[in-house]
């Protein structure tokens, strides 16, 4: 049987923010599916190097690079390095993202600009550099990590929700610009996912969150990674411009 759901064997895929959380789970799944995975980190050098070494010890192709995605020159250089060292870049998962939560009236310009620079501008510059290569390859897959915070009100997250909504618009526009080059651009919008950030909350806060979700549980990082693998596969070649909501029904 031709399994169109796992067609990334040998393909080169870049995952931003792969040192922990959702990004780490995506790196793990893609590596086990046979992809050559390059992942970036910002500060977590120790964790990133340990992670890459643990995969390499299993003969899996995983490579870690320090790269601040806010820096246009850095991301352009990263894409060049990937193509030179590992071959044609097939997929990009724009996973790196930050929060700096405050009510809008007390939000500093630093809080606002940091989140825009990382979640939106950094994602755009990296995607732009990658698309310039993918257009020549006449194939490619780009995935934006949005959030349900970009689809519905999220008090205390004016900066974050603005960027995550913007990624939905960016996804739609790029999907039309890129379709004729056989490049698909999609987004994933997770709800509450059980990452370190949520694990550090007290039990009462975790219970409040679970009660907002019809499924009465948080999602797992593996559930988001499965969606990324699907969207990278040839089984998803006719899906583009879409935002896949993965939130246990919370935003419906
Ligand atoms: P996380 O655990 O906080 O990890 C964030 C990752 O992004 C880390 O690898 C971090 O690197 C990297 N990063 C941050 N700033 C960067 C920069 N300027 N340049 C390069 N890399 C940078 O995040 P997460 O909870 O797994 O979330 C991953 C994505 O899913 C984010 O875009 C987030 O908005 C989205 N999301 C998460 C949830 C959730 O419930 N967790 C829900 C909806 C959407 P370092 O480790 O080096 O700092």
Model pLDDT, residue 4? 78
Ligand 1 atom 2 nearest Cα: 21
Ligand 1 centroid vs 98 CA: distance in angstroms? 6
Tokens of 78: 């990263």
Ligand 1 atom 41 nearest Cα: 193
152 lines ligand 1 (CB under 6 A): no
Helix (H, G, I), strand (E, B), or coil: what is residue 242? coil
Contact 154, 178 (CB under 8 A): no
Please count the CA atoms within 13 angstroms of the CA of 39 that sit on its side-chain side: 34
Model pLDDT, residue 3? 75
Mutate to test the pocket of ligand 1, among 16, 19, 22 (most ligand atoms within 8 A of CB): 22
Ligand 1 atom 17 nearest Cα: 68
Tens of pLDDT along 101-154?
999 999 999 999 999 999 999 999 999 999 999 999 999 999 999 999 999 999
Q: Is the model's pLDDT at 1 over the cut of 60?
A: no
Ligand 1 atom 16 nearest Cα: 42
Ligand 1 centroid vs 1 CA: distance in angstroms? 37
Tens of pLDDT along 163-173?
999 999 999 99
Model pLDDT, residue 204? 87
Tens of pLDDT along 86-113?
999 999 999 999 999 999 999 999 999 9
Q: Greatest CA separation found in the chain?
A: 57
Ligand 1 atom 44 nearest Cα: 147
147 lines ligand 1 (CB under 6 A): yes
Angle between helix axes 21-32 and 221-232 (nearest 10 degrees) is: 50
CA dihedral of 25, 77, 86, 13, whole degrees rounded to 10: 30
251 lines ligand 1 (CB under 6 A): no
Q: Is the model's pLDDT at 242 over the cut of 70?
A: yes
Q: What average pLDDT does this structure show over 50-63?
A: 96
What atom of ligand 1 comes closest to residue 94's alpha carbon?
Answer: 32
Q: Which of 41, 125, 160, 238 is catalytic?
A: 160
- Buried/exposed 27-65: b ≥16 CB within 10 Å, e otherwise: bbbbbebebbbbbbbbebeeebeebbeebeeeebbbbbb
The span from the first CA to the last CA of the chain, in angstroms, equals 36
What atom of ligand 1 comes closest to residue 119's alpha carbon?
Answer: 32
Model pLDDT, residue 2? 59
Integer angstrom CA distances of residue 70 from 54, 148, 169, 228: 28, 23, 20, 23
* pTM confidence score: 0.97
Report residue 191: phi and psi, to 5°: -90, -135
Model pLDDT, residue 215? 93
Model pLDDT, residue 202? 83
Helix (H, G, I), strand (E, B), or coil: what is residue 23? helix
Q: How buried is residue 81: exposed, middle or buried, by Cβ count under 10 Å (0-12/13-18/19+)? A: middle
Tens of pLDDT along 190-241?
999 999 867 777 888 888 889 999 999 999 999 999 999 999 999 999 999 9
Specify whether 238 is catalytic. no
Model pLDDT, residue 211? 94
Q: Is the model's pLDDT at 5 over the cut of 80?
A: no
């Amino acid at each position: 049987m031709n399994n169109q759901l796992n067609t990334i064997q040998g393909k080169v895929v870049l995952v931003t923010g792969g040192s922990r959380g959702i990004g780490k789970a995506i790196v793990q799944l893609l590596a086990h599916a046979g992809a050559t995975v390059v992942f970036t980190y910002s500060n977590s050098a120790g964790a990133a190097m340990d992670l890459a070494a643990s995969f390499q010890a299993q003969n899996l192709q995983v490579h870690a690079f320090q790269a601040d995605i806010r820096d246009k020159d850095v991301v352009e250089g990263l894409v060049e390095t990937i193509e030179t060292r590992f071959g044609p870049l097939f997929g990009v998962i724009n996973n790196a993202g930050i929060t700096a939560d405050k009510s809008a009236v007390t939000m500093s310009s630093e809080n606002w600009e940091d989140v825009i620079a990382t979640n939106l501008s950094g994602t755009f510059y990296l995607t732009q550099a990658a698309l310039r290569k993918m257009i020549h390859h006449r194939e490619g897959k780009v995935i934006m990590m949005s959030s349900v915070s970009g689809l519905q009100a999220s008090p205390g997250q004016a900066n974050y929700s603005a960027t995550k909504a913007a990624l939905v618009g960016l996804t739609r526009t790029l999907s039309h610009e890129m379709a004729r080059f056989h490049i698909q651009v999609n987004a994933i919008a997770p709800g509450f996912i059980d990452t370190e950030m949520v694990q550090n909350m007290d039990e009462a806060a975790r219970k409040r969150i679970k009660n907002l979700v019809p499924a009465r549980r948080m999602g797992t990082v593996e559930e988001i990674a499965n969606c990324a693998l699907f969207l990278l596969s040839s089984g998803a070649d006719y899906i583009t411009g879409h935002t896949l909501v993965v939130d246990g029904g919370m935003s419906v």
